[in-house]
Structure 1
């Protein structure tokens, strides 16, 4: 049976990297039925249309799984991020960002293999803000709940247990934010007791950042609150080549959305030079979620081989290939590996 998946190409370079990713998925031989919906962020608002049409979350509720390209979000004004809206409306409380080195890239470190688990629905991103126009004072409330803390930390431990990971580090600021970060740390310690076979420790967030820059190989799974997790995941992406090569996914109890974590890059949209690696790696995560493990492993192996050879990469990682030239080259490698495995 075909997998029915909601497809959200996004805007900017989104349609280009999405088309490239679909070509690679086609090469796996796995059948997909794509329920395609358009989300075009700022352009939609300019045309007096909702930035997140109701049919999008309805489709994800029906199919349970979505593949999503980048979407433009206004800075400092305008509508709430479509990404944030989707996470809150579908209760996608776990943002998972593997940061894994690719061969052949000129990066500060080699053999990085860590995962950031970010609470996705509360904290400072809950959007609880007030503004006193008379005094020109803005307040934001970081809402931390026991339920929200427990389910993201437990999700991290369950993922570690299922995937043979050895250690979980909880990042916090409980030395200063004694109530909010303090609650997150307290709950984290309680959850850790349920998983005695997985090592647990905690780090203050500023020290955590320093540790990742100095000793990233010493870390495995890192879990944190929304804002801290957002910062850490971009920092960790920088260790392995940047957002253009880093996968991302959002999980709830019922739904999963796999997405490129980089921006929509409207300045290069339509030029055919965008790197689709981030969305392709996110699609690998989707394949594993759908229990298509052989296909996931094959695409991952093909991607590593293509990067190691370096002959068909996009310009941002030192090559000269277009978006689709890279995708076609990768798809051919996937097909070759699959043919060899069945010979």
Structure 2
């Protein structure tokens, strides 16, 4: 499939244009196929509710997608067992596209992270999270427009931990040249294809001289091939400070796994929280869009959940499919609904149900 990053950009969404062809469109000679098949993981807690809302909105927007649904039942799994079936994994690889609601990894010794399992098994090496201010959603910051590009397969999340002796645990941080070059190349291509001006590498090479030092070295090497993109190096502590004091200083940020996990959530807080933040995982052979917020068991089944994060993750997938018209229509509808302020869910200060919010978006489609 040869997935690229050309069509994944929330800034491009807001501007009503996307630079470059999506991978799917490029493979078809510039025109998107008439019908797509995508895998749906509804998730846990509020997952099935918001997944149903998103599927309903995409159907109303005439998105030519046939869904193949797989339920991942983690509660029935014993420690050490795979949390995701081979059948479910093969579904994403076969279809090339996936949408995942929030999922909960069972607590207890022996259970590998569900998200880590998906990223490893599907070779999803890049996580992209655009954070863009939403009209009508009041926060401490205005006109936030930043993107985090996170290496998704190694670092501290390699899952290599062991007990050295009672009371002493060793966790291995793995940084490789191949993965570092790949994610940096992705970030710079993303910046160029989406009209971004600057890429900042976020690191701690002053302390982790070998591991982060290698990542930084790869960033510098890739940057030389993109003279049109400004390149900046920032320690993670300085980057965090700049984000909360003046987020407009930042543009595209590329970083190892752990830093990306933390910084991307910090950026979500700038625009109103994880309930508004889209996320997309990119691999060589598939794309998995996902909601990165929790399962919210306290409101599960009460028709109160906000589907915006999962919906905008789906919009990222639509644009990568080449379905730009449908993506723009849905996005514009959400902006209109939130700008009017009459219909919004409880997390956004309103009293509307998931059903009412979903219907309002459908009613406002172009």
> Per the shorter chain, which TM-score range?
over 0.9
**Alignment check: 8 A CA contact 1:9 1:69 kept:** yes
User: Per-residue displacement from partner, 1:251-282 (whole Å, max 9, x unpaired)?
Assistant: 01111000001111122211111110000100
Alignment match, 1:103: 135
Alignment match, 1:173: 204
User: Per-residue displacement from partner, 1:115-156 (whole Å, max 9, x unpaired)?
Assistant: 100000000000111113x43101111100000101001001
* 2:334 is equivalent to residue 303 of structure 1: yes
Alignment match, 1:245: 276
Alignment match, 2:31: none
What are the within-5 Å matches in structure 2 for residues 7-26 of structure 1? 7-26=40-59
* 2:122 is equivalent to residue 85 of structure 1: no
User: 1:40: Cα distance to partner?
Assistant: 3.0
Alignment match, 1:52: 84
Alignment match, 2:66: 33
User: Per-residue displacement from partner, 1:264-309 (whole Å, max 9, x unpaired)?
Assistant: 1122211111110000100110110100111111111111111111
Distance 1:46 1:270 in 2: 26
* 2:35 is equivalent to residue 2 of structure 1: yes
Compute the TM-score of the two structures, normalised by the length of structure 1: 0.94
Alignment match, 1:67: 99
User: 1:77: Cα distance to partner?
Assistant: 3.6
User: Per-residue displacement from partner, 1:135-189 (whole Å, max 9, x unpaired)?
Assistant: 3101111100000101001001111111111110000000000000000001000
Distance 1:295 1:31 in 2: 10
SS at match of 1:208: helix
User: Per-residue displacement from partner, 1:31-68 (whole Å, max 9, x unpaired)?
Assistant: 21111100133x23279985211111100110000011
**Alignment check: 8 A CA contact 1:40 1:71 kept:** no
- RMSD over aligned CA atoms reads 1.5
Aligned residues: 333
**Alignment check: 8 A CA contact 1:44 1:50 kept:** no
In structure 2, list runs of 5 or more residues that go unmatched: 1-33
Distance 1:260 1:317 in 2: 17
Alignment match, 1:340: none
**Alignment check: 8 A CA contact 1:13 1:269 kept:** yes
SS at match of 1:266: coil
Distance 2:207 2:78 in 1: 42
What are the within-5 Å matches in structure 2 for residues 266-281 of structure 1? 266-281=297-312
Distance 2:204 2:107 in 1: 26
Alignment match, 2:7: none
In structure 1, list runs of 5 or more residues that go unmatched: 338-343
Alignment match, 2:286: 255
Closer/same/farther in 2, CA of residues 169 and 40 from structure 1, 3 Å limit: same
Give the ranges of 4+ consecutive aligned residues of structure 1 lying more than 3 Å apart after TM superposition: 46-50, 74-78
Match of 1:231 among 254, 262, 274: 262
Compute the TM-score of the two structures, normalised by the length of structure 2: 0.88
Match of 2:345 among 314, 318, 332: 314
Alignment match, 2:184: 153
Closer/same/farther in 2, CA of residues 77 and 322 from structure 1, 3 Å limit: farther
* 2:214 is equivalent to residue 183 of structure 1: yes
Alignment match, 2:321: 290
Distance 1:322 1:47 in 2: 37
User: Per-residue displacement from partner, 1:203-231 (whole Å, max 9, x unpaired)?
Assistant: 00011101100110111100100000000
